[in-house]
């Protein structure tokens, strides 16, 4: 039993040292510091826009739906940014992620036709670019699942 115990421990120590260190990037500390500085700069430049994503309550698998997005300034006036892009992320399968540019349909109103290929949870992000600044609005949805309101 003692020999088996020590043998298993030696195997586990070897695997721990030769395996994945768990770090995604080598310069994680510097990137974290840079991220914090950039977030503080973004917060200081935040224009206070009111951004809203509208989708149908029920979304089926592989059924095209219209995603609407509105953007207003602090006082409620429509904003016309340089570009608006719809991003969909599948938390369990990154290969299914996609993006669609949104088309302007009115003052501060944008639309895109999207279709979700898989059943389940999707994370959405609408990204608004205005000059060098980028502002995002997230939303999580369930596709093909009837939820009780």
Kindly list the structural domains of the chain, giving each domain's residue range(s) and its CATH number in brackets, ordered by start. 48-143 (2.60.40.1930)
Q: pTM of the predicted model, to two decimals?
A: 0.69
Residue 18, pLDDT above cutoff 70:
yes
Q: What percent of the chain has pLDDT over 90?
A: 44
What do you get for the CA distance between the two ends of the chain, in Å?
58
The angle subtended at Cα 73 by Cα 69 and Cα 78, nearest 5°, is 60
pLDDT band at 148 (very low <50, low <70, confident <90, very high): very low
């Amino acid at each position: 039993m003692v020999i088996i115990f020590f043998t298993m421990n030696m195997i586990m120590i070897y695997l721990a040292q030769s395996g994945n260190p768990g770090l995604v990037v080598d310069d994680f500390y510097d990137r974290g510091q840079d991220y914090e500085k950039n977030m503080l700069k973004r917060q200081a430049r935040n224009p206070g826009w009111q951004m809203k994503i509208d989708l149908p309550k029920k979304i089926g698998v592989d059924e095209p739906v219209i995603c609407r997005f509105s953007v207003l300034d602090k006082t409620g006036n429509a904003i016309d940014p340089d570009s608006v892009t719809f991003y969909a992320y599948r938390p369990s399968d990154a290969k299914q992620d996609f993006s669609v540019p949104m088309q302007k349909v009115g003052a501060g109103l944008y639309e895109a036709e999207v279709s979700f290929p898989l059943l389940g949870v999707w994370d959405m992000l609408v990204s608004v670019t205005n000059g060098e600044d980028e502002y995002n609005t997230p939303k999580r949805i369930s596709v093909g699942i009837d939820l009780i309101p």
